[in-house]
Structure 1
Amino acid sequence: MNRCTAPRRGFTIIELLAVVVILAVLATLAISKFGDSKRRAYIAAMKSDLHNLALIAETRFSSENSYANITPPQGSAGVILTFNGTQNGWTATATHNALPNFSCAISSGGGANAEPLCQ
């Protein structure tokens, strides 16, 4: 057999580089999707904790006719809840340790079924 006509074995450098580039692009897409799903999960936890806090506030108001002196429950993992209640109204905010400069808020205007506003 002649060296020039021998069957080729293995991959060329160009083929290997093409595979590496394709894998890098797929990994980048997967990582960005994963990061976005974590962010959505943190926001969902904040909204859920605010709904629970709104339910507590409205329940307390129905029994005591006041929103004052309500202590917010502990939030989900990483969620920090704050509550400001007066005789006739309240506001509550939620923040998450993993989302700096981002918060969700809800107030007494819509009751326990209101949708928290996040920004």
Structure 2
Amino acid sequence: MRVSGKKGFTLIELLIVVVIIGILAAIAIPKFASTKEKAYLASEKSDLRNMATSQEAYFSGNQTYTTDQSAMNFTTSQGVTITGMVADAKGWKGTSQHSATTKKCYAGFGSQAAATTLDGIITCDP
């Protein structure tokens, strides 16, 4: 390295810094995307739990379950929709999906619970 009166960074030093920042970004960005996906699934699960509570509250007054979300006094989180809602006097089931992901979560109880799920247990796509 030559000694001169000028102060600053050499091109090699700047290049090394850019490479290090690139490596850190390559590590951080996939982890961030994974964290967002987990947050969307948590929102879906939360809405299904809230729907289960609302279904049981509705059942206690009407002796049947319902597919009408307004009758259950139930509102989904932003971006989450409940589909495939089926209900009768012996059970209910529903599917939730966030608009930002393709993964769905499922829950059911009683006669309507899917064969692959246990009563009240929420399962999600892998």
- TM-score, with normalisation over the residues of structure 2? 0.76
Matched with 1:47 is 45
Report how far residue 16 of structure 1 moved.
2.3
Matched with 2:67 is 70
- In 2, the alpha carbon distance for the partners of 1:41 and 1:6 equals 53
CA separation of 1:64/1:6 partners in 2, compared to 1, >3 Å: closer, same or farther?
closer
- TM-score, with normalisation over the residues of structure 1? 0.80
Bigger relative contact order, structure 1 or 2, given CA contacts below 8 A and separation 6+?
1
Report how far residue 13 of structure 1 moved.
3.1
Percent identity for Structure 1 against Structure 2: 39
Matched with 2:115 is none
Which one has the largest radius of gyration?
A: 1
Root-mean-square deviation (Å): 2.1
Asked if residue 106 in structure 1 is aligned to residue 107 in structure 2, the reply is yes
| Misfit runs of 4+, over 4 Å | none
- In 2, the alpha carbon distance for the partners of 1:24 and 1:92 equals 43
Indicate the SS of the match to 2:94: strand
Matched with 1:80 is 81
Matched with 2:3 is 7
Matched with 1:118 is 124
Matched with 2:28 is 30
> Could you list the runs of 5+ residues in structure 2 that have no partner in the other structure?
111-117
For residue 7 of structure 1, what is the amino acid of its counterpart?
Answer: V
Indicate the SS of the match to 1:26: helix
Number of residues of Structure 1 aligned to a counterpart in Structure 2: 111
Report how far residue 37 of structure 1 moved.
1.4
For residue 40 of structure 2, what is the amino acid of its counterpart?
Answer: Y
Report how far residue 84 of structure 1 moved.
1.2
- In 2, the alpha carbon distance for the partners of 1:88 and 1:28 equals 51
> Could you list the runs of 5+ residues in structure 1 that have no partner in the other structure?
none
Instruction: Output one character per residue of 1:42-97: Cα deviation in whole Å (capped at 9) or x when no partner.
Output: 11111010000001111212222111x33123310100013211121110110010
Q: Would the aligned equivalents of 1:74 and 1:81 in 2 still touch at CA under 8 Å?
A: no
